[in-house]
Amino acid sequence: MKSNPFTSAIYENIWLKHYGKGQKASKFNFLNGVKFIEGKLPRYYTNIGENYTSGLFYRIDQSKSDYEGKVCVIFDVPEYLHSKLNLDCSNLKILKIQQYKGLYVNLKNYKSLDEVIFNCYNSGKSRYNFRRSLKQLHKNHDISKKMFFGQISEDEYIGLIHEFKRILETRFTALNTHNTVLPMWDFYKEVLFPLINDKHVALFVIYDAEQPIAMSFNFVYGDNLVVALRTFDIKYNRIGLGNIEIYYLIEWCLENNINILDFSKGESDYKERWCDTEYRYQHHIIYDSKSGKATAVAIFMAYYYRLKQFLRDQNINSRVTKLQFRLKKWNVSD
C-alpha cells in the first residue's frame, strides 16, 4: 500500500489538535490504513481528516471481527487508488457513494514535456501562444523556480507561507468569491511545514527576482503528486502564469519519476486543459449488515451523501456559498 500523507502521524495529530474536539484516534483491526473519530451517532465513525483530504485508501482484513455493530465512513476514496474489494464475509458490507469529479494527467503516456504540450494545446496556434507567453515571462522578468521537498528551514517556510496567504487573499478578493483554504489557515500553516520535511508534501515556488509569484503545495503518494493548494500573483494574469506554473510542475514530475499528477477535486478550465483522465471520488460506508441499527444508519447516511452530491451537481451549494460570502462581506463593511 502506498504511503498516504493524510494517514501519517503528523497529519493525524495536528488535525486532531485543531478539529478533533478532544477525541483520540480510533483504530480498528478490520480496517488497515485509516484511523477514525466518533461521529454524532452511536457506533458511527468518520476518518480523521473527514472530507478535507485529497484521497484515502485502505484494506479490509476479513479475519477480524471488530466491525460488529459499527458504521465506518471513509471520505474521498479515489476510484483509481483503491483496489477492488471482494468481500467474502456476508455480514460486512460497503456502500460506495459517488461524489466529486477528479482529474489527473497520466505522465506514463508521454515521453517528453513537448508531448504533454501537444496533447493539452490542441492547435498549433494555442501551442505557439503558450510558448510565446513562456518566452515573454523570462524575457521581461528575472524568473527562477524551486521545489522544496524533504528539506526547508523554518524561517524560509514562514516567509513563504506568509507570501502564499497574501497572494491568495489578494487573488480571491479580486475574484470576489469564497476560498476554502483561508478558514483553515492555522491548521494548514502548522501541518505543511513538517510534511515538507517528511517528504509528504512538495512545495513548488516560482520567483520573480526574489519575490514569490506562484506557489503550490502538493501531497505526495509514492509516484503520485496531488495538487492541493495553489495560487499565483494576479499581476501576471495576462501572461498566463497559472498555466506556466503547471507546465513547470509537470517538468519536475517527469524529471523525478512521478507518474500521476492529480488535480484533485473540483472542475476548472485549467484542469480540463492539462488532464487526460477523469475519475470520481467516493464515500465508502462500511457497516455490519447483521446489526439492524448499523444498517439503518448506513442507509440513512448513504441517502444524505447522495442528496448532497445532487445539490452540488445542480450548483445549489455553490450558489449558497456565494450568497453567504456576500452577506459576510456586507456585515463586515457595516
pLDDT tens, residue by residue, 235-273: 998 899 999 999 999 999 999 999 999 998 877 778 888
Q: Are strands 44-47 and 71-78 parallel, antiparallel or unpaired?
A: parallel
| CATH of region 104-277 | 3.40.630.30
pLDDT at 264: 87
With beta carbons less than 8 A apart as the criterion, state whether 284 and 94 touch.
yes
Query: Which residue has 456502500 as its cell numbers?
Result: 95
What are the domain boundaries of the chain? 5-99+280-333, 104-277
Q: Which portions of the chain are predicted below pLDDT 50?
A: 320, 323, 325, 327, 329, 332-334
pLDDT at 271: 85
What's the rounded Cα separation, in Å, for the pair 185 and 121?
35
pLDDT tens, residue by residue, 269-324: 788 889 999 999 999 999 999 999 999 999 999 999 999 888 887 776 555 455 45
pLDDT at 86: 61
pLDDT at 174: 75
Instruction: Please spell the DSSP secondary structure of 220-272, one letter per residue.
Output: EETTEEEEEEEEE-GGGGGGTHHHHHHHHHHHHHHHTT--EEEEEES--HHHH
Please give the grid coordinates belonging to residue 251: 517538468
pLDDT at 327: 45
With beta carbons less than 8 A apart as the criterion, state whether 186 and 192 touch.
no
